[in-house]
Structure 1
Amino acid sequence: MRIRRLLTATAVALVTAAGLLTATGGGAAEAAVPATIPLTITNNSGRGDAVWIYNLGTNLATGQQGWADAAGNFHAWPAGGNPPTPAPDASIAGPGNGGSITIRMPKFSGRVYFSYGQKLVFKLTTGGLVQPAVQNPSDPNRNILFASSEYTLNDSGLWINSTQVDMFAVPYAVGVRPASGATKTTGHLKPGGYNAFFNSLRNQGGGWGNLIHTAPNGTILRALSPLYGVETGAIPANIMDDYINRVWSKYSSQTLTVTPFTDQPGIKYFGRVSGNTMNFTNSSGQVVTSFQKPDSASVFGCFKLLDAPNDLVRGPISRTLCAGYNRSTLLTNPNQPDPNNSNFYKDAVTNQYSKKIHEQMADGKAYGFAFDDVGAHEALVHDGNPQQAYVTLDPFN
């Protein structure tokens, strides 16, 4: 799973190389966050399949990787092998259609997986857990319908998201109820949004429909992210090149201004292209970082030539560039990030996958690519004093 960072100048929430959401930062609510909180999973899917739940991640108190049982007790993974060995069965029987169950979430940086019809296959290497990688035709989970939500529960509260960074497969929403006030939710599709997304992607020219995976019986399993589409050859490796070339041409003679921190508008960086390099200077004219001309994979994955280290200069600039490329706002607004989502995805060359996901979200929020949190357009809820978390499995219509 791909690295994702949610970064501000004063606090960090990120997905580590293991692919899990973590967070740091203090606050007055710390003492109020208990060791575990309830997570209620409600099945409104309309499907008759059995549902299996997994709560996998890193114990924040010890740094150990493992899983949590329904009571919120932590179990460390045993040593793995090479070739990988089967992991212990960490599944929790989920609710049937129309039902709910409540489990406990420990202080974890983790993922809640939910699969339909059959259990997921997890294995352990000497380096830890092998996450599902359904872009690989030989992955044992390739023909299983599943998805996952990333979360962190720590002394500063709960962060939980509805993500499509790797794939769009299962309609679901997440929520958190604070000690006071209304429950915060995100991730619900519009009525008919599931079918509308797949129909729109299938009908999009340029090979975008090739991102759709179906089961042997022809039913839809998922749409892969465009990064995996490029990596597997499902969509052309040069699919974003025309837009990238136009950006490169524009900023050979104009300046791109990046203001990466909404809470620090005085911090600005200025980008100009020279040859194959875009150099960024600070307000003193000092070059602080440089980027080589990216390719489509770098844009879709927000990595490689758009690498975003967890720092306060290159990482924030790269995040902003990544968002501008995926949303195709770099040509229309030389001041980034563009705050107005009505300007997003207007170019003929854009991240059609992310565009179509956002179009079908009830609140317009989604994690269509790794740094969709730039400008707070991501499907994430947070509270510093969470009393209850929710995952709702929504209808496939």
Structure 2
Amino acid sequence: MRYLTVLTALLGAVSAAPSLVYRAKSPFSVADPGTAEDIVITADNTLNGTFHSPNTTIVNKNAIHSRALAGNLPIKLINNFSGNQVNAYISGLDSDNRVVFIAADGSLIYPSSGGSSVPVPINSNIAIPLPSQGNSITVTLPIVLSSARIYFSEGNLQFFMVKIPNGDGLVQPSPTNLSDPSSGINWGFVELTYTNALAVFANISYVDFVGMILSMSLSTKDGSGTQITKGLDSGAVSQICNGLVQQGNADGYPWASLCVANSAGTPIRALSPGDYTAINSAGFQNYWNGYVDQVWNQYTNNPLTINTQSSGNVNCQVSGGTLNCSGDNRGYAKPSAADIWGCNSGPFAIQGGDNAIHVAVVPRLCAAFVRSTLLIAGGNIQPGVSASQYYTVSPTNHYSRLVHQYEVDGRGYAFPYDDVNPDGNENASGVLSSGSPDTLTVSVGAPLS
């Protein structure tokens, strides 16, 4: 039980930096923050925008007159965090697809790379300091915003700009690069879209990782009431990492290494298995092989029914090594571990010419693999079994299992198609939306009551 002994020490009070020998024994991946030279630019950590100016520009909120840009969304930020100073950052693309940050006073900050193909730090005052624990601040979003995020961090996050072929790109903190300049910081974000019609879509997602604890609600003006996604419990990162250590002890896979610890040995985030492959591509390479073979054997002799929930039931069966579904424009080869973690590659990659049945089968089939429901009783109909039967056999996505275990209300995506559910009222997504929003409230550090 060496891992459990180490974890107990890691999660206890640490008064001094650990020795090199101590760190070597850690079951966790350890962050080692670097400089701009250590940034790895990928599609996952870059927000591509159009070019606006060779210099950073600031637009005072009182100067925003264009009707196309106008908006008025109050965002209330509540500090329920018991640690050090928390900063918020609101970023996204404006209606001209330019990268923009919203300052605390509602002004717009348009950072520029200055034409540099090497990431340059944003030195403008983009941080929104939150007041002390138990207090809140309200920032008004004065423009429509797409591909937006509201970041929260214990300390200062570092953002960079870089020249891209058709404009300027925002290089965001990477949860998977252990040498990223912000890798040792406890941080997280909620996703936000504020449309031209002034509708709001906000989401807490754990598809990539679990970091700083966030919770949110959306009040409305149309009488439909307040929506809420409570997110994870305040101690969830430690609890999830504890569970991952136990799982690694049980099956020998590097589940504990999904947890990233800071220099003090304290876990600050837990990565999804798919994102962990950026650190160790071989760790789970063969994880699903036996299960996939069993599924293919099962449905060579027996039919699998996919309830498309849009085009009726579709019968599927394995023939010649390929799973074929009635009315589908193409079949499904055996998926790899990477295909199952991400649900967007190999047989689960959706192409432009795919028909409606294929588009409906992919998420339901991949969700069944992630939740390991294809071989249990009732698994011949997908989606069919209740959420209580997800993740009940191994192999399975134990990261997703633990995330949902510690969600206060069971909501928040833990993999890309976590909104696939049987017909009825079950809903694992954490999306809040309204065409008539009043105030978006986000709590950091502990769930909203």
Q: Is the TM-score greater than 0.5?
A: yes
Aligned residue number for residue 238 of structure 2: 195
**SS of 1:250's equivalent?**
helix
Q: Is the 8 A contact 1:42 1:393 kept in 2?
A: yes
Q: 1:222 is aligned with what amino acid? A: R
Aligned residue number for residue 52 of structure 1: 87
Aligned residue number for residue 305 of structure 2: 257
Displacement of 1:139: 1.5
Aligned residue number for residue 263 of structure 2: 216
Give the counterpart of 2:215 among 163, 173, 183: 173
**Matching of residues 126-275 of structure 1 within 5 Å:** 126=164, 128-154=169-195, 155=197, 157-179=199-221, 180-190=223-233, 192-205=235-248, 206-233=253-280, 235-261=283-309, 264=310, 266-275=311-320
C-alpha separation in 2, matches of 1:258 and 1:232: 35
C-alpha separation in 2, matches of 1:66 and 1:238: 42
Aligned residue number for residue 76 of structure 2: 40
**SS of 2:217's equivalent?**
strand
When the two structures are superposed, what TM-score results if normalisation uses the length of structure 1? 0.83
C-alpha separation in 1, matches of 2:367 and 2:349: 13
For residues 191-222 of structure 1, give each alpha carbon's deviation from its aligned partner in whole angstroms, at most 9, with x where no partner exists.
75443322212211222111111101111111
Aligned residue number for residue 81 of structure 1: 116
Q: 1:86 is aligned with what amino acid? A: P
C-alpha separation in 2, matches of 1:349 and 1:338: 19
Aligned residue number for residue 108 of structure 1: 145
C-alpha separation in 2, matches of 1:342 and 1:385: 34
C-alpha separation in 2, matches of 1:121 and 1:96: 24
Aligned residue number for residue 330 of structure 1: 374
Aligned residue number for residue 369 of structure 1: 415
Give the counterpart of 2:433 among 353, 378, 382: 382
Q: 1:344 is aligned with what amino acid? A: Y
Q: Is the 8 A contact 1:41 1:95 kept in 2?
A: no
For residues 80-110 of structure 1, give each alpha carbon's deviation from its aligned partner in whole angstroms, at most 9, with x where no partner exists.
5322222353322223322211112342121
User: Gapped runs of 5+ residues in structure 2?
Assistant: 1-42, 48-69, 422-426
When the two structures are superposed, what TM-score results if normalisation uses the length of structure 2? 0.74
C-alpha separation in 2, matches of 1:75 and 1:348: 49
Give the number of the structure whose alpha-carbon radius of gyration is greater. Answer: 2
Give the counterpart of 2:363 among 283, 298, 319: 319
Aligned residue number for residue 69 of structure 1: 103
Aligned residue number for residue 31 of structure 1: none
For residues 294-342 of structure 1, give each alpha carbon's deviation from its aligned partner in whole angstroms, at most 9, with x where no partner exists.
1111111112112235874433321112211111112231221235111
Q: Which has a greater percent of strand?
A: 1
Distance 1:276 1:135, change over 3 A: farther
Distance 1:77 1:252, change over 3 A: farther
C-alpha separation in 1, matches of 2:407 and 2:164: 40
Q: Is the 8 A contact 1:281 1:289 kept in 2?
A: no
C-alpha separation in 2, matches of 1:71 and 1:50: 19
C-alpha separation in 2, matches of 1:158 and 1:193: 28
Give the percent of matched residue pairs that are identical in Structure 1 and Structure 2. Answer: 28
Displacement of 1:279: 2.3
Instruction: Indicate whether 1:280 and 2:316 are aligned.
Output: no
Displacement of 1:274: 2.6
Displacement of 1:56: 1.3
Aligned residue number for residue 3 of structure 2: none
Distance 1:288 1:18, change over 3 A: farther
C-alpha separation in 2, matches of 1:18 and 1:117: 20
C-alpha separation in 2, matches of 1:63 and 1:295: 36
Distance 1:103 1:156, change over 3 A: closer
Aligned residue number for residue 298 of structure 1: 339
Distance 1:339 1:173, change over 3 A: farther
Q: Is the 8 A contact 1:52 1:93 kept in 2?
A: yes
